[in-house]
Structure 1
Amino acid sequence: MGLRKWLGRGEPEERTIDPAAYGYVPRQHIRADRAGPAPDFDVVDPLVARGNWPELAAFLRTVPMVSERRFALLTRLGNAATANDAWLRQWLAADPRSVNALCVYAESQVNKAWEIRSSDWAKNVSREQWQGFFRVLRAVPDICAAAMEPEPADPAPFIALQTAALGLRWSNDEYRKLWREISARAPHSFTATHRAWNYWRPRWYGSLELVEEFVETAIAAAPPGSVLTMNRIQMLHEEFRPKDGDERAAFDRGDRVNRALSAGIADAAAADPADIKLPYLRHWLAARLVRAGRHRESMNQFWAVGGYCGAEPWEWFDDPLDQFCAVRAETTLAWEDAGRPTS
């Protein structure tokens, strides 16, 4: 999908900007592998590359049990173990009751199951792929159950179970029970909420009514700065945005979207600047403020995310970096054309 299709416009003009002239990070210095600064990843990535699980385990013990930092680390380590789990197997052999190791194992097995299935439409997945998918995925609840035993108050094993529950086709009642367990241990978790809203989407096991109810309830219950408003912005874009071009344009500039964007801006302003999940909200704000015609506010978000583009919605495109830079230039040029309004 190209920039103009994303913006809902016609053929592109040959216009560009000098990023430095507007205080932007130049293209060659933008990282497409991260959404924003992640000092913890700078610690664990070299340890994983060296297979140094003892130091990895020691570092994880310094991270607060109920924190998005920890949940992000477990997810990243699960992704790393999907490609090469030799270090993880050594860790589990040495400490089979390690909650962190078991959660990483669960995350990696979910990833492997989806690799077997592939991302193709269900109708195109072979019988052998489905069998392999469920064979691997059915082992995950037992892994998570083992991780729940050493520290029952730990939310990480329950969060690790969320994506497996999606693939295993848990009923609404089963998933609600899981969500209650998570909420009791990690209320307002960004990671858990984002995984849960995916379950309640019409394409999975919910509906427009159920997904909106879930997202709005989660946001209403959370304190300012939770960055959960990102889920509303993404939900409106993916689930409620009309298919017709003219209707989309009106929707993107309408009251419902603009209220969501304004709430997102306020949420971002109230968040801890070091919150590892804050950049994810800012990327969505930057992208959708453009479409709402709020170009200066979009530029503010591009300045705030700086030299990173490893997040949705940029990751939906074949070249996330190209899309990020193109939309950044587009909103800047629109601001110039409008006479550089301050708001």
Structure 2
Amino acid sequence: MSHASASSPPPPDFEIASAFPEVTWLRQAATARDWVSIRQYLDGLPRETNRGFAVGVLAEVDGVEGWMREILAAAPDDVLALTVLGSREVRIGWEIRTAAPAKQVSREQFAGLHAHLRQAEQLLIRATALDPSSDAAWAERLTTAMGLQLGQNEARRRYDRLAAHHPHHFSAQGRLLQQLCPKWGGSWEAAHAFARECLLGAPEGALSGGLVAEVHMEHWLALRGREREEYLRQGHVRAELVEAAERSALHPGFRRDYGWVVVQGYFAALFSLTGDLARAAACFRALGNLASQYPWADLGGDAAAAYVKHRDAALARG
């Protein structure tokens, strides 16, 4: 077992429970089928909390679908159970599809994805009808809208319904941002405009500035060859990244809400790629050794290796 020396930082930690210890408890409660405690916990969260995060944790637990169906058989109007089961169906569908590019996904895999997404959609429509302010159900309906290819207008309608109750909902904003990218039928103009709208609409220190970094990363990844090399050299791209970071990840009031590790990671990666190592180093220091799979997995092969490479370079010179 090799131990990190005093001079070399520890390896990146991709375990989400390291950033948010309540994840461990949620997983244990779901495995133990302790619905009373789960419901009390979610009901007790402050109103502005992103409940989609906790629902997502529950939806990752294998077998949770079985006892959610039992709860709904007894209580068909249980909004939380509808939302957890709907979210679980989305994940089962995506596991069948896999993360492979569309041309590598078989007809059977697409059929499996769509069958589970249609089941999810029915559950989540019921959840949002019973509780129109449910951020977790609306956010998941942005994923089903994307997977079922319901189009830009329907995705925006769903986002607007959520935003009426939760105006700076980072995970919902991230899902709509994906939908607005060309790979899901949108355009770069629409995606960049939405990211900027979220940045300027949110209070300083909010996560929403991370969307500016995410859309620049998406745009850069979509390019090839010389175009890719030149993209991050553009003055306006660098200026937008600095402005967004100073309103979010590098702001003194930056809030460590659900998603903060992703936001710091996107800025750390982009400042590394643009050669702004002082700002990259500030983001890495804020992270400690916490990491999320993205953006690092997009930087070629192994996410941990990409993280360490860029972190070591930034901390050595920044």
TM-score (norm 1): 0.82
Structure 1 CA distance for aligned equivalents of residues 143 and 67 of structure 2:
23
Measure how far apart 1:118 and its partner are. Answer: 2.8
The AA in structure 2 aligned to 1:282 is: Q
Determine whether 1:229 maps to 2:209: yes
Q: Which residue of 2 aligns with 1:126?
A: 106
* Equivalent residue for 1:49, pick from 10, 23, 31: 31
Determine whether 1:20 maps to 2:2: no
Task: Quickly say closer, same or farther: Cα 1:110–1:41, change in 2 above 3 A.
Answer: same
Q: Which residue of 2 aligns with 1:195?
A: 175
The AA in structure 2 aligned to 1:34 is: I
Measure how far apart 1:252 and its partner are. Answer: 2.4
Structure 1 CA distance for aligned equivalents of residues 285 and 39 of structure 2:
35
Answer yes or no: is the 8 Å Cα contact 2:212–2:241 preserved in 1: no
1:124-155 Cα shifts (integer Å, max 9, x gaps): 33333332222221122221122123323333
Structure 2 CA distance for aligned equivalents of residues 96 and 20 of structure 1:
56
Structure 2 CA distance for aligned equivalents of residues 206 and 43 of structure 1:
39
Say how many residue pairs are matched: 311
Greater mean alpha carbon deviation, residues 140-149 or residues 163-172: 140-149
Structure 2 CA distance for aligned equivalents of residues 318 and 34 of structure 1:
21
Q: Which residue of 2 aligns with 1:204?
A: 184
- Structure 2: gaps spanning 5 or more residues: none
Over 6 Å off, 4+ runs: none
SS in structure 1 at match of 2:183: coil
1:276-305 Cα shifts (integer Å, max 9, x gaps): 222211111111111222222212211111
* Equivalent residue for 1:145, pick from 101, 125, 135: 125
Answer yes or no: is the 8 Å Cα contact 2:48–2:166 preserved in 1: yes
SS in structure 2 at match of 1:74: helix
Structure 2 CA distance for aligned equivalents of residues 291 and 217 of structure 1:
25
* Equivalent residue for 2:273, pick from 291, 300, 304: 291
Greater mean alpha carbon deviation, residues 281-290 or residues 250-259: 250-259
Measure how far apart 1:231 and its partner are. Answer: 1.4
Answer yes or no: is the 8 Å Cα contact 1:280–1:312 preserved in 2: yes
Structure 2 CA distance for aligned equivalents of residues 36 and 254 of structure 1:
36
- Structure 1: gaps spanning 5 or more residues: 1-17
Answer yes or no: is the 8 Å Cα contact 1:34–1:311 preserved in 2: no
Task: Quickly say closer, same or farther: Cα 1:213–1:300, change in 2 above 3 A.
Answer: closer
Q: Which residue of 1 aligns with 2:261?
A: 279
Measure how far apart 1:87 and its partner are. Answer: 4.0
Identity between Structure 1 and Structure 2 (%): 24
The AA in structure 1 aligned to 2:197 is: T
1:133-188 Cα shifts (integer Å, max 9, x gaps): 22221122221122123323333221121100001111222222212211211111
Determine whether 1:63 maps to 2:45: yes
1:197-245 Cα shifts (integer Å, max 9, x gaps): 0001101121112212222222222221222121111211221564224
Answer yes or no: is the 8 Å Cα contact 1:117–1:125 preserved in 2: yes
* Equivalent residue for 1:168, pick from 131, 148, 162: 148
**Larger RCO (CA under 8 A, 6+ residues apart):** 1
SS in structure 2 at match of 1:21: coil
Answer yes or no: is the 8 Å Cα contact 1:219–1:229 preserved in 2: yes
The AA in structure 2 aligned to 1:217 is: E
The structure whose Rg is larger is: 1
Structure 1 CA distance for aligned equivalents of residues 89 and 211 of structure 2:
26
Answer yes or no: is the 8 Å Cα contact 1:35–1:279 preserved in 2: no
